[in-house]
Amino acid sequence: MTDYLLRATAGGIRLFAAVTTGLTEEARRRHQLSPLATAALGRLMTGGLLLAAKLKTNEAITVRVQGDGPLGELVADAYGNGMVRGYVTHPLADLPLNEQGKLPVGAGVGQGQLFVTRFTNLKQPFTGTSPLVSGEIAEDITEYLYISEQTPSSVALGVRIQTDLQVEAAGGFFVEPMPEATDEEISKLEENLRKLPPVSTVLLQEEGAEKLLQALTEGLPLKIHDRQELQFSCPCSREKVEAMLISLGPEELASMEQEGKTEIVCHFCTEKYSFDSKALAELRLEAAGEGHGEDRGED
Ligand code: ZN
């Protein structure tokens, strides 16, 4: 099953809904996430994609949760083209289910701050922040949008995990009344939000995102404008890692060269890049300006 995001309107209300089961499962597998970390990162990556749904395809957003809980820091980079990547500082941190039988994501995240950085074509990257409300991610993003961007919205996120620890369902929605929304439309939406079952329950059905939108817009004229595929994907590459190593300078590279093989692991996707002493020597020459790189030095 492919992950996807729907962009829709219902009168003066804008809605995005996403199914992110596959990409959350991929993050779980790549990072060997505990159930708690899977739920937290799955929610954060979904939240990032919902925020990125307003961006152009070459724009991006970074959502960072800095809490004092056992999970440590959580980061998700979401791109306007539907790609997302993310990591948790302590992927193995886990806590027992709470009294409601749910993974206590809020306790795993703890207290702290949410940071949102927008990378748009129009201006320099802009970072806004707000204090975490509950650490449950969806509430924290809703609060951020209200406090920092003056956008009254509703965000819900859900991740459901099977007993074998695989992701059974993940996704969420973002709803925002636009300036032209009428009072009737807003009160209808509020009524629908109140009686909505948990997101992950709706997502267990086929066409989960459509089902979410239908439930949210009952009694309103739902119009789905487009469907975008979503996937876990990281833009890291061997070339980028080489450029990073070159930027360390010839001395640092010489000492790495003496140690022999070096392995660089991408934080975001756990892809491994290894360099033997011969490869490091070549990079050292480039760093010293003697290589065949683009920077040829003076002649
Ligand atoms: Zn990567």
List the chain domain ranges.
Answer: 4-232, 238-287
- For ligand 1, the distance from its centroid to the CA atom of residue 272, given in whole angstroms, is 8
Q: Calculate how far, in angstroms, residue 165's C-alpha sits from the geometric centre of ligand 1.
A: 24
**Which structure tokens are listed for 3?**
């992950």
Strand order in the sheet with 154-161: 126-131, 112-119, 60-67, 73-79, 83-88, 222-232, 3-10, 13-19, 167-177, 154-161
Measured in angstroms, how far is the CA atom of residue 268 from the centroid of ligand 1? 5
- Tell me how far the alpha carbon of residue 267 lies from the centroid of ligand 1, in angstroms: 7
pTM score of the predicted model: 0.92
Give pLDDT tens digits for 63-88: 999 999 999 999 999 999 999 999 99
Considering the four listed CATH numbers 3.40.50.300, 3.40.640.10, 3.40.50.720, 3.55.30.10, the one that applies to the domain covering 4-232 is 3.55.30.10
Task: State the distance from the centre of ligand 1 to the C-alpha of 269, rounded, in angstroms.
Answer: 4
Distance 23 CA to ligand 1 centre (A): 14
- Could you give the CA distance from residue 3 to residue 26 in angstroms, rounded to a whole number? 11
Could you tell me whether strands 126-131 and 112-119 are parallel, antiparallel, or unpaired per DSSP bridges? antiparallel
Give the distance (Å) from ligand 1 centre to CA of residue 288: 27
Alpha-carbon Rg for the chain, nearest whole angstrom, is 22
Decide the pairing of beta strands 83-88 and 272-275.
unpaired
3-state secondary structure of 87: strand
CB 216 within 8 A of CB 193: yes
CATH of 238-287, one of 2.40.10.480, 3.40.50.1260, 3.30.420.130, 3.90.1280.10: 3.90.1280.10
The whole-angstrom separation of Cα 163 and Cα 150 is 40
Spell out the per-residue pLDDT of the chain, length 299, in tens: 699 999 999 999 999 999 999 999 999 999 999 999 999 999 999 999 999 999 999 999 999 999 999 999 999 999 999 999 999 999 999 999 988 888 999 999 999 999 999 999 888 999 999 999 999 999 999 999 999 888 889 999 999 999 899 999 999 999 999 999 999 999 999 999 999 999 999 999 999 999 999 999 999 999 999 999 999 999 999 999 999 999 999 999 999 999 888 999 999 999 999 999 999 999 999 998 865 545 444 44
Centre of ligand 1 from the C-alpha of residue 195, in Å: 40
Distance 76 CA to ligand 1 centre (A): 12
